[in-house]
């Protein structure tokens, strides 16, 4: 018996100032079985991210200014939906592809996010989340944001996340719609997890051999983590308020 043809999947890569890494990331993602559309959303880059992504084979959408990861994810999903509308008009009804979100700085290791696709494409779960091994370079944080996110998700849903801030995810369009509008800024991953689970959908964490750039302990890294903490806290506060109103 011939192996089953992988379901079509759209990969979305939010990116800002990733000229050094984006080509390798796009090339790796394009090689994932089933991925037939790679969309890079250039979120206000000041370098050649968009040009290099296009040369590597991605379709590129640009934000004139930086609008944040949640906005880039939403723009990418909208682009995929419009492409599917075109496909439907040309060839009849077009299936809604699962969405595979990939961080721009993974380079060649991005090929490994392919393990996130089968559980979703086969209908076993509605969203998969990558869990990463120890990184080659350790970060400068103390785990405050991770603990806040993990406890908040557990309190709201009962789900205990190993890596609640992981950005590499594959999900059905129905799951994406259930979480829309997405939580702002760096709260987007926590918001996605909570919203999908509260919609009664299934979530599974999947180990992935991925390596990316980690935030350092200098002032830039500290500012980044402060923004993360703010956005995660806001996402959780908003979802607690919504739950009380139900």
| C-alpha pair distances (Å), 59 with each of 19, 41, 190 | 15, 9, 27
pLDDT at 67: 95
pLDDT at 223: 76
Q: What is the pLDDT of residue 210?
A: 86
Average pLDDT, the chain: 90
Which H/E stretch holds residue 160? none
Q: Please say whether the beta carbons of 201 and 178 come within 8 A.
A: yes
CB atoms within 10 A of CB 134: 7
168: pLDDT strictly greater than 50: yes
The answer to whether residues 40 and 15 touch, using CB atoms and an 8 Å cutoff, is yes
Reported confidence tier of residue 188, pLDDT bands at 50, 70, 90: very high
DSSP assignment string, 105-117:
T-GGGGGGGGGGH
**Which residues 6+ apart lie within 8 Å of 87 measured at CB?**
94
> Would you say residue 126 has pLDDT above 70?
yes
For residue 41, list its beta bridge partners.
14, 61
∠137-27-183 over CA atoms, to 5°? 65
pLDDT tens for each residue of 2-28: 334 457 999 999 999 999 999 999 999
Write out pLDDT tens, residues 80-107: 999 998 887 766 556 789 999 999 999 9
Residue 152 to residues 142, 192, 206, 219, 234, Cα–Cα distance (Å): 17, 13, 21, 27, 11
pLDDT tens figures, 206-233 = 999 987 665 555 656 677 788 899 999 9
What is the side-by-side order of every strand in the sheet holding 9-15?
59-63, 35-43, 9-15, 99-101, 169-171, 127-131, 203-207
In this structure, are residues 183 and 113 in contact, taking their beta carbons and an 8 Å threshold?
no
Domains of the chain: 9-245 (3.90.550.10)
Give the position of tokens 């908040």: 152
In this prediction, residue 115 carries a pLDDT of: 97
Q: Are 182 and 142 in contact (CB under 8 A)?
A: no
Q: DSSP labels for 1-64? A: -PPPPPPPEEEEEEESS-TTTHHHHHHHHHTSTTEEEEEEEEES-SSSHHHHHHHTT-EEEEES
Residue 171 neighbours by CB under 8 Å, 6+ apart: 98, 99, 101, 120, 126, 127, 128, 192, 196
To 5 degrees, how large is the angle CA 206–CA 207–CA 208? 110
Q: What is the pTM of this model?
A: 0.89
pLDDT at residue 211, rounded to an integer? 76
- Output the pLDDT for position 1: 34
Among 22-26, 125-129, 136-140, 187-191, the minimum mean pLDDT is found in: 136-140
């Amino acid at each position: 018996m011939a192996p089953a043809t992988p379901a079509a999947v759209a990969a979305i890569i939010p990116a800002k100032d990733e000229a050094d890494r984006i080509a390798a990331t796009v090339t790796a993602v394009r090689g994932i079985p089933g991925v037939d559309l790679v969309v890079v959303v250039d979120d206000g880059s000041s370098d050649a991210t968009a040009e290099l992504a296009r040369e590597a084979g991605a379709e590129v959408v640009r934000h004139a200014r930086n609008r944040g990861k949640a906005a880039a994810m939403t723009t990418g999903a909208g682009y995929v939906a419009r492409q599917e509308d075109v496909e439907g008009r040309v060839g009849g009804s077009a299936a809604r592809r699962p969405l595979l979100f990939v961080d721009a700085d993974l380079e060649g290791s991005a090929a490994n996010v392919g393990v996130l696709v089968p559980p979703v494409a086969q209908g076993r779960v509605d969203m998969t989340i990558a869990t990463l091994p120890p990184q080659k370079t350790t970060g400068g944080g103390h785990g405050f944001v991770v603990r806040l996110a993990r406890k908040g998700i557990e309190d709201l849903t009962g789900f205990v996340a190993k890596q609640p801030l992981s950005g590499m995810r594959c999900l059905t369009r129905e799951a994406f719609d259930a979480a829309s509008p997405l939580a702002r800024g760096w709260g987007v991953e926590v918001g996605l997890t909570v919203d999908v689970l509260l919609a009664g959908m299934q979530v599974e964490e999947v180990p992935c051999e991925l390596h990316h750039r980690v935030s350092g302990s200098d002032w830039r890294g500290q500012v980044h983590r402060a923004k993360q903490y703010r956005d995660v806290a806001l996402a959780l506060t908003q979802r607690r308020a919504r739950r009380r109103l139900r």
